[in-house]
A and B are shown apart, each in its own frame.
Chain A
Amino acid sequence: MTVPRPIALLCRRLKLSLAARLTVWFAVMAFAMLFAASLLMYWRVAAHLTGEDEFVARMRLMLVEALLTDAVPAPDTVQIIANSTDRPSDGPMYVRVLLPGGDVLAQTDGMDGELPAAIIPVSRKPVRVLGASGRAYWAASSKVMGDTVQVAAEADDEVRLLAPYRGHMGVLFGLAFLAAGVIGHRIARHGLQPVVTLVETMRGIETTTLDKRIDVARLPIELTALGETFNDMLERLQRSFNRVAQCSDDIAHQLRTPLGIVRGQIEVALGAQRSPADYREILESSLEEIVTLSDLVHRMLFLARAENQAMALSREETDIGRLLSSVHDLYEPVAGEAGVALEVSVADPPLAASIDRLLTLRAIGNLVSNAIRHAPPGSTVAIQAAPGGGGDVRITVADTGQGIAADHLPHMFERFYRAEPSDSGARSGLGLAIVKAIAALHGGGVGIVSTPGQGTRVTITFAAPRPAG
């Protein structure tokens, strides 16, 4: 149904509530239909009443003609007609008989003043005329043996019946309009109740009650999708909220240990006189802890910025083979000390990609040092690079260590996640999260495959820069 523009515009202009709009629409529609139906009925009744008055006038005329034809004297005829009102409420019935010269032979009392002979038309078919008093009459005339007979019957049914009817209708319309408004409002309110409930539920959700959900089953079909979408949004919110809470918890935890050491050892140091060598030892130890702290802060900031994509990449065309061989140069001594062989293999032909060199090195470095740490002596850590299609580059770091249990795998790239609790030590637990963030900055991703007892393969994909958009 198309909405008439003026009403729609008015609703918008007045900023009416949905309930108010529905109410207005309901009231207007109900009123319009009632009005149309009543009007039709009024027309029918009015036409019927009018026909009745006209019929009375015609019948009287025929009666007068019959009487005069039967040689009833004119004054008697007038008298008979005047007394022959069959409806007590009927208005006066006027009859006049005129001689061929125009003189009055006989007429009903008072007819001269109300309806002079001249205004009554020469027509057997009744015609509506207005009397001197302003009343309406059905008047007709005919010739009977040379005389002119004039008859007029008041058209009073219209006045008597229709006028009060119109009055009643006015009151009725007013009441109907009010009733339509009230009922419409009720209906609208009732229909919109689910929306109100929905809003109340939503309003009741705070950070402490993120586990609340909207009861979708009780919503009408139109609102089900909205409810489900909202529930999904809550689900995501709750998850990330929990993650943030968990994360600040982890950070506080990470900060606590070095802070505790520094605070404690300085307090103890100041508690007694010591030799310069002792002071030096304490200062050095404190410095080590503080370096741990500030590295952690830098790493957290790096992650926060990378995850908000608030970090600009400085991509440059890089030869992947040379990149990996510099990784090899840097990490080979560490691998050597651990008794692990470090192998680099790059697909032929030489592979190049547009990447941020420093960040990529950092990501690969993190993976390689992880792999070396988990590789048993005598095994090999392999770094491989291969084209990933569409200008992407895939770099895989594989070790033959003890592997990672399947239930840990999905979480390996989360901050502070540790597969083995014993792996804590000085490690921050941010290495793989940083790898993932760097891959994501490049529009790529990370993957991990592990077979317990056989080793782990981690793959980073660096996506080629895509045209804007």
Chain B
Amino acid sequence: MKILIVEDEKKSADYLKKGLQETGFVVDVADNGDDGLEMSLRGEYDIVLLDITLPGCDGWHILTEIRRRGLDLPVMFLTARDGVNDRVKGLELGADDYLPKPFAFSELVARLRTILRRGPARQADVLSIGDLEVDSTRRRAARGGQRIDLTPKEFNLLLLLCRRNGEVLTRTYIAEQVWDMNFDSETNVIDVHIRRLRQKVDDPFGVPLIHTVRGVGYVLEARP
């Protein structure tokens, strides 16, 4: 997957590039609008991350040009401009997502994956991570062949973590995906749900699969 970042602020561009490369993407950076536009029209990128305020032409213009030429190139705005009108304008112009700064890097990765997965790629019905098996059609989970009894919400939470195996998910993202809620992160509600899930999925089996990433969120993965 090849990503173009159009961002004039060097520190931001640097950490985004580094982080996304380490996540497994190929990343190019344009530090002004004119280069950004020229590069996005080359047709070699899978997604463009756009800042709005740029030297040269701005992010709105780049997006408009991309859409005017009928390119089916996903575009995501990353910007400190967080007015409702900006967000609405971005989505109306045809942006695929709009992430206001400051954002959690893992949030960005999660959203990137969501956009890039929108295509035909279909996930297997049965996911297995370590000795955990989750069957999404029959809504069953088992570890080491032993059935785990879960409430519907608990199952949804586990399914999300399994589908995003190895990805760190923020509490906000989890609440949005599982409870369809944009909640105030001041509360520890998600932590309590994870704790309950752990009591069923991890505690009886000795080897934990659900891990806390301090300051970010949670990840499900088999760690050696």
A positions within 8 Å CB-CB of B: 284-288, 290-291, 294-295, 297-299, 301, 305, 310-312, 326, 329-331, 333-334, 337, 358, 361-362, 365-366, 369, 426-428, 431, 434
Is B118 an interface position by the 8 A CB rule? no
Q: How many residues of B sit at the interface, in one of the four size bands?
A: 20 to 34
How close is A258's CB to chain B, nearest CB, in angstroms? 12
How close is B95's CB to chain A, nearest CB, in angstroms? 17
Q: Contacts A288-B214, A301-B82, A311-B84 given; indicate if A329 touches B187 (C-beta within 8 A).
A: no
Q: Is A362 a contact partner of B184 (Cβ separation < 8 A)?
A: yes
How close is B154's CB to chain A, nearest CB, in angstroms? 10
Question: Complex formed: what's the CA distance from A305 to B84 in Å?
Answer: 8
Residues of A within 8 A of B186 (CB): 295, 369, 426-428, 431
Can you name 27 A-B pairs with beta carbons within 8 Å? A285-B214, A287-B215, A288-B214, A290-B102, A294-B103, A298-B100, A299-B184, A305-B84, A311-B84, A312-B88, A329-B153, A330-B175, A330-B189, A331-B189, A333-B192, A333-B193, A334-B187, A334-B189, A358-B181, A358-B182, A361-B181, A361-B183, A362-B184, A365-B189, A369-B186, A369-B187, A434-B184
Name 15 extra pairs, CB < 8 A, besides A286-B215, A366-B184.
Answer: A284-B215, A287-B216, A294-B103, A305-B83, A310-B83, A312-B88, A326-B181, A330-B183, A333-B192, A333-B193, A337-B192, A358-B181, A365-B181, A365-B187, A427-B186
Is B196 an interface position by the 8 A CB rule? yes
Question: Complex formed: what's the CA distance from A464 to B85 in Å?
Answer: 24
Residues of A within 8 A of B83 (CB): 305, 310
Question: Complex formed: what's the CA distance from A295 to B215 in Å?
Answer: 12
Binding site secondary structure of chain A: helix
Residues of B within 8 A of A326 (CB): 179-181
Question: Complex formed: what's the CA distance from A287 to B214 in Å?
Answer: 8
Q: Is A294 a contact partner of B216 (Cβ separation < 8 A)?
A: no
Residue of B nearest to A312 (CB): B84
Residue of B nearest to A363 (CB): B184
How close is B153's CB to chain A, nearest CB, in angstroms? 6
Residue of A nearest to B171 (CB): A291
Is B188 an interface position by the 8 A CB rule? yes
Question: Complex formed: what's the CA distance from A365 to B175 in Å?
Answer: 12
Q: Is B179 a contact partner of A329 (Cβ separation < 8 A)?
A: yes
Question: Complex formed: what's the CA distance from A96 to B120 in Å?
Answer: 140
Q: Is A369 a contact partner of B192 (Cβ separation < 8 A)?
A: no
User: Which of B103, B104, B180, B188 is the one whose CB lies under 8 Å from A334?
Assistant: B188
Residue of B nearest to A359 (CB): B182
Is B185 an interface position by the 8 A CB rule? yes
Question: Complex formed: what's the CA distance from A291 to B88 in Å?
Answer: 26
Q: Is B179 a contact partner of A330 (Cβ separation < 8 A)?
A: yes
Residues of A within 8 A of B180 (CB): 326
Question: Complex formed: what's the CA distance from A380 to B143 in Å?
Answer: 36
How close is A149's CB to chain B, nearest CB, in angstroms? 110
* 5 closest cross-chain pairs (CB), A and B: A287-B215, A284-B214, A294-B102, A333-B192, A288-B215
Residue of B nearest to A295 (CB): B185
Residues of B within 8 A of A295 (CB): 185-186
How close is B86's CB to chain A, nearest CB, in angstroms? 11
Residue of B nearest to A327 (CB): B181
Residue of A nearest to B187 (CB): A369
How close is A271's CB to chain B, nearest CB, in angstroms? 22
CB within 8 Å of A: which of B172-207?
175, 179-189, 192-193, 195-196
Q: Is B84 a contact partner of A290 (Cβ separation < 8 A)?
A: no
Residue of A nearest to B105 (CB): A287
Question: Complex formed: what's the CA distance from A284 to B213 in Å?
Answer: 8
Residues of A within 8 A of B188 (CB): 334
Residues of A within 8 A of B189 (CB): 330-331, 333-334, 365, 369
Residues of A within 8 A of B215 (CB): 284-288, 290-291
Residues of A within 8 A of B153 (CB): 329
Among A288, A290, A291, max chain B CB count under 10 A is at A291
Residues of B within 8 A of A297 (CB): 102
Question: Complex formed: what's the CA distance from A434 to B88 in Å?
Answer: 22
Among B100, B175, B181, B196, max chain A CB count under 10 A is at B181
Question: Complex formed: what's the CA distance from A329 to B84 in Å?
Answer: 30
Q: Contacts A284-B215, A301-B82, A326-B179 given; indicate if A431 touches B196 (C-beta within 8 A).
A: no
Residue of A nearest to B190 (CB): A330
Question: Complex formed: what's the CA distance from A288 to B213 in Å?
Answer: 10
Residues of B within 8 A of A369 (CB): 184, 186-187, 189
Residues of A within 8 A of B185 (CB): 291, 295
Residue of B nearest to A294 (CB): B102
Residue of A nearest to B182 (CB): A358
Question: Complex formed: what's the CA distance from A434 to B82 in Å?
Answer: 17
How close is B185's CB to chain A, nearest CB, in angstroms? 5
Question: Complex formed: what's the CA distance from A334 to B192 in Å?
Answer: 6
Q: Is A330 a contact partner of B181 (Cβ separation < 8 A)?
A: yes
Q: Is B184 a contact partner of A291 (Cβ separation < 8 A)?
A: no
Residues of B within 8 A of A284 (CB): 214-215
Residues of B within 8 A of A366 (CB): 184
Question: Complex formed: what's the CA distance from A331 to B184 in Å?
Answer: 12
Question: Complex formed: what's the CA distance from A147 to B100 in Å?
Answer: 128
Question: Complex formed: what's the CA distance from A299 to B187 in Å?
Answer: 13
Question: Complex formed: what's the CA distance from A365 to B185 in Å?
Answer: 11
User: Which of B100, B102, B196 is the one whose CB lies under 8 Å from A333?
Assistant: B196
